Amino acid sequence: MTELPEPSPGPGQVLLKMRAASLNYRDLMVVKGLYNPNQPLPLIPFSDGVGEVMAVGAGVTRVKTGDRVAGIFMQKWLAGELTKVKAQSALGGAIDGILVEYVVLHEDGVVHVPEHLSDEEAAALPCAAVTAWNALITQGGLKAGDTVLVQGTGGVSLFALQFAQLVGARVIATSSSDQKLERVCQLGASDGINYKQTPNWDKQVRDLTDGIGVDHIVEVGGAGTLAKSLGAIRLGGHISLIGVLSGTATEVNIIPILMQNVRVQGIYVGSREMFEAMNRAIAQHQLRPVIERVFPFQEAREALQYMDKGSHFGKICIRF
């Protein structure tokens, strides 16, 4: 922990006093040095946070002092296609993040957050929620009557569960814990599958869908679960490839992709335009993110260790 001078906003910039942050698996990898072997140091970690605008620079029109805003994951991905320049503007990786008391961002890089959310809930949105929104809504075009499979109970999976329900889709969830499956069913999943007790969960997914398979899978396991996902998806279904929790490389049989007309879509968070569309839906439905636990700022290390255990249900947050 270091003392840094309080920064001041230049033209087009805003100064934020951070109130809350949330952790993503990526932050754990960054801190462990596994995310980018060539990461220049020092680096202020963490991408997701919400703060209050304390001052604005010349020409700022999008926000004003006193507003509560979140930083967007890639500071330059405002809308449209992802480009290299945009990709190289991710907080807490390509550039300094938000685990610091005062942060200066460009006004284009922040969004207002829904009023009904607590600071911690709002801080949960930038990476995990936008990723789930992009996967299911922007890219997936999910609609009422569709069925979605979500894996585990991490942040992205629970947001995917919530968004799928917002648009009228049915959700099947997997977990290694019956207790967690009970909770996802309370959150609205129609069915839970314990993948420890049912290693061939792809077959059970088919049984639950009249032998057809699901329309959409939010694949967070990565290489370790992709083969099973290919067995659980319907002809012409979509797999959003998001995470690498269970491995980054594996022997994949590509025949099912081919013969089943499957779409595998890599999802790397999303744009500010998606964030804002998502916020409208969250506000309209007074939806609340699932927060597992809140650590004080001084215990950011403990928060990361807690995430590393992998037994959480929802988002782990930091209170400044």
Find the binding residues for a copy of itself in span 9-38 (CB under 8 A). 10-12
Give the three-class secondary structure for 38: coil
Selected from 53, 278, 290, 317, the binder of a copy of itself by CB under 8 A is 278
The residue from 8, 178, 200, 266 that contacts a copy of itself (CB under 8 A) is 266
* Contact assessment for residue 173 and residue 187, using Cβ atoms and an 8 Å cutoff: no
Say how far apart CA 281 and CA 28 lie, in whole Å.
Answer: 29
Residues 6 or more apart from 111 whose CB is under 8 A from it? Answer: 69, 70, 72, 272, 275, 276, 279
Nearer to a copy of itself, 243 or 300 (CB): 243
Site string for a copy of itself, 195-224 (x = CB under 8 A): -----------------x---------xx-
**Calculated CA dihedral for residues 236, 237, 243, 248, nearest 10 degrees:** -40
Instruction: Using the rule CB under 8 A, give the single segment among 46-54, 195-203, 268-276, 291-299 that binds a copy of itself.
Output: 268-276
Enter the tokens of residue 208. Answer: 């639950």
Report the residue from 1, 4, 41, 255 that binds a copy of itself according to the rule CB under 8 A: 255
Compare residues 109 and 300 and give the one whose CB is closer to a copy of itself: 109
CB of 46 or CB of 163, closer to a copy of itself: 163
User: Cα-flanking dihedrals φ and ψ of residue 93, to 5°?
Assistant: -160, -85
Q: How far is residue 294 from each of residues 11, 65, 103, 263, measured CA to CA in Å?
A: 34, 26, 21, 37
Instruction: Select 200 or 250, whichever has its Cβ closest to a copy of itself.
Output: 250
Tokens coding 49: 């946070």
**177 vs 246, which CB is nearer to a copy of itself?**
246
* CB 23, CB 304: distance < 8 Å: yes
Position 80 contacts a copy of itself (CB under 8 A): yes
Number of residues that bind a copy of itself (CB under 8 A): 64
Residue labelled with tokens 């129609």: 190
- Where along the sequence are the contacts to a copy of itself (CB under 8 A)? 10-12, 78-84, 87, 137, 141, 143-146, 163, 166-168, 170, 212, 222-223, 226, 235-236, 241-244, 248-268, 271, 273, 277-285
